Structure 1
Amino acid sequence: MPAAQGPWKSTRRQVLAVAAGTALLAALASPALAQANGDDGWPNRPIRMVVPYPAGGSADAVARRFAIKLGESLGQTVVIDNRPGASGNIGTLDVMRARPDGYTLLLNPSAHVINPEISDKSPYRALEDFTPISQVAKGPLVLIVTPSLPVRTPIELAQLAKARPDSITFATSVIGSASHIAEELFNRVANVNILIVPYKGNAPAITDLMGGQVTAMFDPAVTSVPLVKSGKLKALAVTGRTRLASAPEIPTTEETGLKGLEFYTWYGLWAPKGLPEALAARLEKAARQVAGDAAFRQAMRDNGLEPVGSGRKAFADLIRQESALYRSIARQSNIRASAN
């Protein structure tokens, strides 16, 4: 068959020209479109996950397990960056000021929400200055003491504090942490006034507790239970409604006779404010996948925590509820920090 002539030849050239032009426009527009949608090949380099506490503490332990699985889900390395100091504010503000490009994240415990509720000069607000991605895990605290302390229950600790008030001190990871709130609650419900000594994280606090520089502490199970099982510390009770599956021998505070001390800590994933919707959605999906990972779930439960993997809306709703709770506790217990 002879080649087509006339109109067909002209139309074919037009079609080819239009197709080529369309392809060129698409190629030129795709980077801008991807950037506008918050996707530009993300993640194409390692992601930094800031933990505003020292290595070896409970937040660090959760973050390292979570980072490995998050990296597997995203197909990119997630690097932990410990930035302790100023009651967690140094690392927290580092993330708050970072570019919202998905390459800087924050793994922070519930102190992230507590701090603004007890400090007159908090430099941030949890929801206003960050993008909440997901609650990662939650769990009760463990009341731990030095092994030589002659007490077996929280009530006996309170009795000893009343008899020898200068001999008992609480360590707390930082002012405004869950351990700090739990210790203030203990003072209130047990009608004692045990001195609370703040540290720059629960790792140095536990070190001093084992060394006898302080007497007692409320600490997440992820760091306290292994030390209890090794005999380096003694557990008096857990603040949950039920016993820990990983340490069922430790009674709840209510079982020991102390009422009104049910309390939990939790860990959440955050990004800087202004994170594009596309990246926030991908991080939320990845966090949910981590929470459903069998190995991660077992690791959390082995350490007294329950994996969560909540969505962004559920996490934001929790933050509002928790903010009101901590504000009420701070008011009732007269907890106030002029600065952090």
Structure 2
Amino acid sequence: MRKLINSLALLGAAILAPAAAHSADAYPSKPIRMVVGFAAGGSADINARIVGQQLGKELGGTIVVDNKGGAGGNLGAVEAKRSAPDGYTMFYATSAVVLAPSLYAKPGFDPYADYTPVSLTATIPLLLVVNPAVPAKTVNELVALAKSKPNELNYGSSGAGALLHLGGALFAKEAGIQATHVAYKGSAPAVADLLAGSTQFMFLPINEAMPHVKGGALRALAITSDKRSPLMPDVPTIREATGKSTMDMGAWQGLMLPKGVPDDVVSKISAALKKALADKALQDRLVAQGSIVLGGTAKDYSDYMKLEGDRWAKVIKDTGAKLD
């Protein structure tokens, strides 16, 4: 009986081996779900749809975006983590995933252990903007104004612990100023109060700030990327404005998979994503959204996540921004 069982086991392995070897050949055989941890219409959602459309073409399949917004992106991260590791669930991750372990005692996921990184896709730099009534036309003038009025200038954000909050806190720390943070439930009410003059400055993703700047409702002082944006070439980088590179930052995005997806499927997705990101039409669409197109290897992505996680963990600790 033991010999029979062993023989059957060997036969089964022999039958399954070719199937495993060719599992990527048949992939995808059904629509792929791309989980986004934020609501439809936001930057992550828009870029996920742009990337997903082209990635689906490269894979020869269809990718459907599934918005799982809530808890600062945590609900989407948990949803992706719990999904079957078969390649039919992707996770369009953002910088929020590396903030979560420092902000929450139990975020429900480990960004470094629960997923397989594929590649960074894009980053959206932030604009430092002020209400036009603020008598500051440069970053240095804003800093001088804030130093002359400790704690009298307010900056808004889309919520406590959000990148817009942490960006403002980092700026205040690096500039040596004291300013009061005002947290809102989303960027829309924060922008509304900035336009009304209730707050004086704010860091906003370039795609959200640009219409207000071009319409004269806000004044842009600097952009947080290492190069000027082609969409707003007259706005200096914050490095140019301050001489410091420590305030370079952006809302980055990338593609991850639940841990355990077969290596050959991961490789197929990786190769397809590389082709997708090299597509000129896709690049033009992302740039039109204010994004800087990225790319690179899985290791590049993994290493960058760790650097970002460590960087923001220190900011969160220094500013006391932990949420629970």
TM-score, normalized by length of structure 2?
Answer: 0.82
DSSP 3-state at the match of 1:255 = helix
Task: Work out which of the two has the higher radius of gyration on C-alpha atoms and give 1 or 2.
Answer: 1
Matched, 1:46 2:31: yes
| Structure 2 partner of 1:72 | 57
Taking the aligned partners of 2:310 and 2:323, their CA distance within structure 1 comes to 19
Aligned CA-pair RMSD: 3.1
- 1:70-128 deviation digits (Å, cap 9, x = unpaired): 12212222222222211111111111111122222221221211222343333222111
Shift of 1:196: 2.8
Q: Which residue of 1 aligns with 2:286?
A: 300
Query: Partners in 2 of 1:35 and 1:151 — Cα distance?
Result: 63
Alpha carbons 2:24, 2:268 under 8 Å: kept = no
Alignment match of 1:173 (pick from 145, 148, 158): 158
- What is the DSSP-based 3-state SS (H/G/I as helix, E as strand, rest coil) of the residue aligned with 1:256? helix
Residues of 1 paired with 2:39 and 2:128: CA distance? 21
Task: Tell me the CA shift for residue 61 of structure 1.
Answer: 2.6
Q: Does 1:269 align with 2:255?
A: yes
**Against the structure 1 CA distance between its residues 107 and 75, is the aligned structure 2 distance closer, same or farther, given a 3 Å change threshold?**
same
**Match in the other structure for 1:157:** 142
Compute the displacement of 1:132 (Å).
1.0
Report SS of the residue matched to 2:319. coil
Name the CA shift for 1:212/1:45 in 2 (closer, same or farther; >3 Å): farther
Deviates more, 1:162-171 or 1:244-253: 162-171
| Corresponding residue number in structure 1 for 2:299 | 313
CA contact (8 A) 2:207 2:290 kept: yes
| 1:93 paired to 2:78 | yes
Percentage identity across paired residues of the two chains: 36
Question: Is the 2:54–2:276 contact (alpha carbons within 8 Å) kept by the matching residues of 1?
Answer: yes
Note the C-alpha offset of 1:49.
1.6
Aligned equivalents of 2:66 and 2:188: distance in 1? Answer: 16
1:289 aligns with 2:278: no
Gaps of 5+ in 2: 1-10
One-letter amino acid of the structure 1 residue matched with residue 59 of structure 2: L
Distance across 2 between alignment mates of 1:213 and 1:287:
44
Contact 1:119 1:336 in 2 (8 A): no
Which residue is 1:123 aligned to? 108
Structure 1 residue corresponding to 2:129, chosen from 127, 137, 144: 144
Given the two structures, how large is their TM-score scaled by the length of structure 1?
0.79
User: One-letter code of the match for 2:256?
Assistant: W
Helix, strand or coil at the partner of 1:181? helix
Please name the residue that 2:90 is paired with: 105
CA deviation after TM superposition for structure 1 residue 162, in Å: 5.1
Per-residue CA deviations over 1:22-62 (Å, capped at 9, x if unaligned) read: xxx99x957x8546865483322222222212233222232
Alpha carbons 1:143, 1:238 under 8 Å: kept: yes
Name the CA distance, whole Å, in 1 between partners of 2:248 and 2:303.
18
Choose from 180, 186, 191 the match for 2:176: 191
